[in-house]
Structure 1
Amino acid sequence: IVLIGSMSAESQKPGSSIYVAAKTGIEGFAPSLRKELSDRDIKVGLIEPGFTGSDFQYPEFPPEKQRELIEQHQMLRAEDIAVAVEFMLRQPRRCAVSMMRVETRRNHP
C-alpha cells in the first residue's frame, strides 16, 4: 500500500489548515497501518511530495507558470511522484521503504 502525503504536513503554510490536517493525518496513519498489517505480509509506505504541478496550484500558478517552474527545477511533475511510487513497490520482499520525501532540486517560490 502506497499512501501519498505531502511535505505541507511539515511546512504548514497559512490558509492551508484543512489540507495540512488531512496530510498530517496520513503521516500518522501510515506507520500505524504498517504495524497492523506487517503480520499479514503487507507493506505500507508513505510518499511525501514537495511542490508539484497540478490543478491544485491554480490560480496562483497557472499552467504556463508551472511549466516554467518545472524547467527551472523549482516544481515537480506528477511523473516524478510516479517514479518514486514505482521505486517503493519494486523493493524486495525483505525490504520496505516506509517513507520517502520527493523534493525539487531548487527552492520553489
Structure 2
Amino acid sequence: MSSAVVLVLQTFLEAPRSARYGLELGAVTGLPSGTIHPVLARLEAAGWVESEWEAVDPSAVGRPRRRFYRLTPAGTEQARTALAGVAARQARLRRRLAGPVASSPLPDEA
C-alpha cells in the first residue's frame, strides 16, 4: 500500500461517514491533485469509497461542482484492517533497523 493511499485512508478514518472532496483531501494530506484523484478512483473501483456529484448549479456558486467521496461501511473496516497491517509492518521494520539493544555498563562508583 503506497504512502499516498495510507494518507488518504487515515484522513477518511478521522470521520468515516463524512464526505470529502479531492481538493480538501489534497489540502489535508499535502498530496497533489494528480495523486489524490487516481487514489480515489482505485479506492472507488475496489468498493472502499463511494462518490457523488454535488447538487449545485456551478454558475450560482461561482465554481465547478465538487465530487464528494466517503468510505463505504465495508471500506471503513477494510481501511482499518489495512492500516493496522501497515502499522504492524512498520513497527517490525523499526525493530529490525534498531537491532539489538546493547546495555551500557554502569559507571564505577567511587
Q: Which TM-score applies when normalising by structure 2? A: 0.28
Give 1 or 2: higher helix fraction. 2
Structure index of larger Rg: 2
Question: Which has the higher relative contact order, 1 or 2, with Cα contacts under 8 A spaced 6 or more apart?
Answer: 1
